[in-house]
């Protein structure tokens, strides 16, 4: 098990290195100059060159990359070109909002997706299964930004029951207790619903297939032949063995969930890392984009390693394979 974790950690380091390297190259290959955006179109060429020199943008790319990587490893994530604030402070202020949105979406997506998938597997090839399959595939195929805009149109402009933008109302500083919590929940509802609906679609489809695969195994037929109750068969044999693939899906879905959160945060003006990253890309704020990308990649790798550990805990076969490896 320890050897497997060590191998996963080494692969994770390689993945993070590849992601930040590719991001660095794409940022510098994209059109636009941070110095020109910072000074404006009326700036003289000498002023632009002076700012580029101060930001070390006139150095070779290999030198810039090595310098950034060395500082990042030491914990120095640089200073935002646009705001002048430390990048670490900006991300620390934005991460709680993103973590709250992603964690709740993950919890609801898997709880509801597993429930819907179990119902579909129990009523396989029935009309209910077909109806739910059409619904889950449709939800999974919908673009997150489009779904978010449709929810805004329905719940904000038509029904006028939920706010569309931000994490709190303009009067949030004057609220306290349950009123403050209610205001935060109302602002959280639409972005959370957007991410959850898309997540439920994919999770339910995967859960249905995993449960049907387990139901077809000989040990399930043997348990039923011994007179074990159907509820006990489902709880102890079917769901337990279907949990392993679901936990692996958890790790694989984290990258898509973070990328979806970027779009959703932009649509709903949610004050998270995704919105910070989009604004940084638009303003060519290289330090912010690089740090946010690196931290997101690290979290995704950590999530994948956690999923491997949980899968090994849930499935003895995975533990055996890890020992043999």
- Per residue in 229-276, pLDDT (tens digit) is 877 887 777 887 887 778 777 776 777 777 778 888 889 999 988 888
Residues 39 and 114 in one domain: no
Residue 88 in any domain: the answer is no
Residue 87 in any domain: the answer is no
Q: What is the pLDDT of residue 247?
A: 75
Q: What residue numbers bound the domain in which 245 lies?
A: 2-30+95-324
Residues 182 and 307 in one domain: yes
Residue 144 in any domain: the answer is yes
Contact 167, 76 (CB under 8 A): no
For 19, residues 6+ apart whose C-beta sits below 8 A from its C-beta are 293, 294, 297
pTM, rounded to two decimals:
0.83
Q: Quick one: average pLDDT of 149-165?
A: 92
Residue 177 in any domain: the answer is yes
Three-state DSSP class for residue 86: strand
Residues 61 and 169 in one domain: no
Token couple for 120: 């579909």
In the block, residue with structure tokens 């490896």: 325
Residue 40 in any domain: the answer is yes
Residues 41 and 171 in one domain: no
Residues 69 and 133 in one domain: no
pLDDT tens per residue, range 35-53? 887 887 778 888 888 888 8
Residue 306 in any domain: the answer is yes
Mark which of 20, 49, 76 sits at the end of a domain. 76
Residues 174 and 305 in one domain: yes
Residue 86 in any domain: the answer is no
The mean-pLDDT minimum among 69-83, 162-176, 210-224 falls in 162-176
State CA 245 to chain mean position distance: 19
Residues 318 and 267 in one domain: yes
Q: Supply φ then ψ for residue 217, to 5 degrees.
A: -75, 150
Question: pLDDT class for 132, splitting at 50, 70, 90?
Answer: very high
Mark which of 76, 111, 133 sits at the end of a domain. 76
Distance (Å, whole) CA 121 – CA 115: 10
Q: What is the pLDDT of residue 223?
A: 85
Distance (Å, whole) CA 183 – CA 18: 41
Q: What is the pLDDT of residue 55?
A: 82
Distance (Å, whole) CA 121 – CA 37: 55
In the block, residue with structure tokens 């100059």: 33
With the CA atoms of 247, 251, 253 and 255 taken in that order, what torsion angle do they form, in degrees rounded to the nearest 10? 170
C-alpha distances out from residue 32 to 26, 35, 41, 240, Å: 12, 9, 12, 53
For residue 310, give the CATH number of its domain: 1.10.3720.10
Q: Tally Cβ neighbours within 10 Å of residue 142.
A: 16
The mean-pLDDT minimum among 59-63, 71-75, 195-199, 309-313 falls in 309-313
Residues 155 and 172 in one domain: yes
Residue 252 in any domain: the answer is yes
* Number of domains composing the chain: 2
Residues 169 and 39 in one domain: no
Q: What is the pLDDT of residue 257?
A: 76
Residues 55 and 138 in one domain: no
Residues 64 and 123 in one domain: no
Residues 268 and 228 in one domain: yes
């Amino acid at each position: 098990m320890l050897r497997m974790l060590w191998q996963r950690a080494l692969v994770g380091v390689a993945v993070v290195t590849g992601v930040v390297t590719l991001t660095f190259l794409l940022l510098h290959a994209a059109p636009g100059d941070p110095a020109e955006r910072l000074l404006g179109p009326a700036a003289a060429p000498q002023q632009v060159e002076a700012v580029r020199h101060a930001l070390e943008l006139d150095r070779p790319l290999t030198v810039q990359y090595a310098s950034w990587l060395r500082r990042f490893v030491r914990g120095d994530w640089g200073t935002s070109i646009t705001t002048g604030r430390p990048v670490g402070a900006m991300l620390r202020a934005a991460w709680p909002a993103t973590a709250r949105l992603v964690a709740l979406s993950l919890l609801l997506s898997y709880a509801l997706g597993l429930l819907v998938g179990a119902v579909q597997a129990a009523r396989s090839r029935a009309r209910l299964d077909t109806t739910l399959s059409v619904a889950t595939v449709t939800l999974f195929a919908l673009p997150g930004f489009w779904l978010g805009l449709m929810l805004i149109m329905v719940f904000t402009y038509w029904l006028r029951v939920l706010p569309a933008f931000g994490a709190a109302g303009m009067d949030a500083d004057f609220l306290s207790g349950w009123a403050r919590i209610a205001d935060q929940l109302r602002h959280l509802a639409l972005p959370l619903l957007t991410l959850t609906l898309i997540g439920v679609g994919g999770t339910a489809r995967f859960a249905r297939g995993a449960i049907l695969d387990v139901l077809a195994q000989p040990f399930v037929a043997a348990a039923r032949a011994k007179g074990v109750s159907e509820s006990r068969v489902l709880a102890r044999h079917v769901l337990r063995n279907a949990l392993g693939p679901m936990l692996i899906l958890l790790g694989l879905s984290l990258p898509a969930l973070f990328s979806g959160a970027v779009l959703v945060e932009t649509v709903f003006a949610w004050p998270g890392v995704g919105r910070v990253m989009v604004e940084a890309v638009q303003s060519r704020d290289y330090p912010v984009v690089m740090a946010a990308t690196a931290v997101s990649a690290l979290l995704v790798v950590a999530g994948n390693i956690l999923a491997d550990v949980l899968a090994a805990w849930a499935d003895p076969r995975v533990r055996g394979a890890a020992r043999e490896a």
